[in-house]
């Protein structure tokens, strides 16, 4: 039940992109086409899961144990960067098909604040390992969900003719505001359903 609540919360209520403002760059940059948005969303989910599975044990068994908590930021960003590089090399060598579809997105994710954000949040929320993994999965799905939703909105936006000053990014941001408004309606759903 707790797992279900974590997923529900991280996908709908505290969606990383649309209500916590993490990972805005890829959200605005790669959401023009549905296939790219989906690819990016899946790659982010994959890296979030992978990063959490490494950073959680590091935090618990290394940093906390030796009172090195203050090194969290440095260690996490390095681990994520190294991990992404490593995964890219492994995929290229052994799973070229997967690399062809996800590979281009992987280097983008190294400095994505959603990935670093989810690993740090898991620690701050005091989740166990299983809960952290579920929360990462939920955040990843939430990201994918937001990307897919928004790429649909953007394909309509292409044909629109906003005032000159609003062309490009401003009108995209205003569309994002309306998209995020649609998730606004879910606030309170998780606590209402699960009595958290």
Partner 1 sequence: MTKIQNFLKGLVKENPVLVLILGTCPTLATTTSILNALGMGVAATIVLLCSNMAISALRNVIPDKVRIPCYIVLIAGFVTAVELLLHAFVPSLYDSLGIYLALIVVNCIILGRAEMYASKHGVIDSAIDGLGMGCGFILALFAMSFVREVFGAGSFCGIEIPFLSRYCIPILAKTPGGFLVFGCLIALVNAISKGKAIKKKEFGCAGCPSAATCGKLSCADDAQVKEEAAK
> Applying CB under 8 A, which residues contact partner 1?
18-25, 28-30, 32-33, 36, 70-74, 77-78, 81, 104, 107-108, 110-113, 116-117, 120-121, 124, 163-174, 176-178, 180-181, 184
Residue (159 or 195) nearer to partner 1, CB: 159
Beta-carbon contacts of residue 163 (< 8 Å; ≥ 6 apart): none
User: Least distance from C-beta 71 to partner 1, angstroms?
Assistant: 7
The DSSP line for 77-145 is HHHHHHHHHHHHHHHHHH-HHHHHHHGGGHHHHTT-HHHHHHHHHHHHTT--HHHHHHHHHHHHHHHHH
User: Least distance from C-beta 1 to partner 1, angstroms?
Assistant: 26
Angle (CA) 102 85 90, round 5°:
65
Measuring CA to CA, which residue among 108, 135, 138, 143 is closest to residue 38?
143
Q: What is the largest CA-CA distance in the chain?
A: 59
- Taking the alpha carbons at both ends of the chain, their separation in whole angstroms is 11
User: Least distance from C-beta 28 to partner 1, angstroms?
Assistant: 6
User: Least distance from C-beta 61 to partner 1, angstroms?
Assistant: 21
Residue (166 or 194) nearer to partner 1, CB: 166
Residue (35 or 195) nearer to partner 1, CB: 35
Residue (20 or 99) nearer to partner 1, CB: 20
User: Least distance from C-beta 47 to partner 1, angstroms?
Assistant: 13
Angle (CA) 189 9 62, round 5°:
155
User: Least distance from C-beta 167 to partner 1, angstroms?
Assistant: 6
Residue (37 or 137) nearer to partner 1, CB: 37
Residue 60: what are its φ and ψ, rounded to 5°? -75, -45
């Amino acid at each position: 039940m707790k797992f279900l609540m974590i997923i529900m919360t991280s996908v709908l209520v505290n969606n990383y992109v649309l209500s916590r403002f993490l990972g805005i760059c890829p959200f605005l940059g790669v959401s023009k086409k549905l296939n790219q948005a989906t690819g990016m969303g899946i790659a982010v989910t994959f890296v979030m899961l992978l990063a959490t599975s490494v950073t959680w044990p590091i935090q618990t068994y290394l940093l906390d144990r030796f009172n090195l908590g203050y090194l969290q930021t440095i260690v996490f960003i390095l681990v994520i960067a190294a991990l992404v590089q490593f995964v890219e090399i492994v995929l290229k060598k052994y799973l070229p098909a997967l690399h062809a579809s996800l590979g281009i997105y992987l280097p983008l994710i190294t400095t994505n604040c959603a990935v670093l954000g989810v690993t740090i949040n898991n620690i701050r929320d005091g989740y166990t390992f299983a809960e952290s993994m579920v929360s990462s999965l939920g955040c990843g799905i939430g990201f994918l969900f937001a990307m897919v939703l928004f790429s649909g909105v953007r394909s309509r936006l292409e044909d629109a003719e906003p005032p000159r000053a609003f062309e490009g990014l401003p009108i995209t941001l205003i569309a994002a505001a309306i998209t995020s408004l649609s998730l606004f309606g879910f606030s309170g759903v998780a606590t209402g359903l699960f009595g958290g």
